Amino acid sequence: MTNVSNESVEKKGSSSGASRVIASLAVVFCVVFGALIWNYVMGNPSNFQNGDPEGHPLPGNILGLFYKGGPVVALLVGLLTMTVVFSIERFIVISKAAGKGNIGNFVANVQQDINEGRIQEAMDACDAQKGSVANVIKAGLIKYEEMKKEGFSSEEATEAIQKEIEEATTLEMPMLERNMIVLATLVSIGTLVGLLGTVTGMIKAFSALATSGTPDSAALATGISEALICTATGIGTSTLAIVMYNSFTTKIDRLTYSIDEAGFAITQSYRRFKGLVK
Question: Are the C-beta atoms of residues 183 and 80 closer than 8 Å to each other?
Answer: no
pLDDT single digits (tens) 100-157:
888 888 888 888 888 888 888 999 999 999 888 899 999 999 988 888 887 777 788 8
Confidence at residue 223, expressed as pLDDT on a 0 to 100 scale: 73
Determine how many CB atoms are found less than 10 A away from the CB of residue 175.
17
High-pLDDT (> 70) share of the chain, %: 88
Question: Are the C-beta atoms of residues 95 and 47 closer than 8 Å to each other?
Answer: no
Residue in 257, 251, 104 with CA at minimum distance from that of residue 180 = 251
Q: Which residues pair with 27 in a beta bridge?
A: none
CA pair distance 160, 154, nearest whole angstrom = 10
Confidence at residue 241, expressed as pLDDT on a 0 to 100 scale: 95
Confidence at residue 9, expressed as pLDDT on a 0 to 100 scale: 45
End-to-end CA distance of the chain: 30
CA pair distance 84, 89, nearest whole angstrom = 9
The amino acid at residue 170 is T
Would the pLDDT of 7 be above 50?
A: no
CA pair distance 265, 31, nearest whole angstrom = 48
Range of 3-12, 50-59, 182-191, 195-204 with top mean pLDDT = 182-191
CA pair distance 79, 85, nearest whole angstrom = 10
CA pair distance 245, 240, nearest whole angstrom = 9
Q: How far is Cα of residue 70 from the mean position of the Cα atoms in its chain?
A: 29
CA pair distance 31, 173, nearest whole angstrom = 29
Question: Residue 213, by phi and psi: left (phi above 0), alpha (psi -120 to 50) or beta?
Answer: left
Question: Are the C-beta atoms of residues 147 and 270 closer than 8 Å to each other?
Answer: yes
Give, for 47, the enclosing helix (H) or strand (E). none
* Exposure b/e, 58-67, CB count within 10 A at least 16 = b: beebebbbbb
Coil/strand/helix, residue 68: coil
Confidence at residue 99, expressed as pLDDT on a 0 to 100 scale: 87
Range of 33-37, 108-112, 225-229 with top mean pLDDT = 33-37
- Percent composition of the chain: helix, strand, coil (DSSP 3-state, to 5): 85, 0, 15
Question: Are the C-beta atoms of residues 234 and 190 closer than 8 Å to each other?
Answer: yes
pLDDT single digits (tens) 171-225:
877 788 888 999 999 999 999 999 998 888 888 777 777 776 666 666 677 778 7
The residue-averaged pLDDT of 160-171 equals 87
Could you tell me the sign of the dihedral formed by the alpha carbons of 263, 265, 269, 271, in that order? positive
Residue in 21, 25, 26, 15 with CA at minimum distance from that of residue 83 = 26
pLDDT-derived band of residue 228, with 50, 70 and 90 as boundaries? confident
- Encode 16-31 in three state secondary structure: HHHHHHHHHHHHHHHH
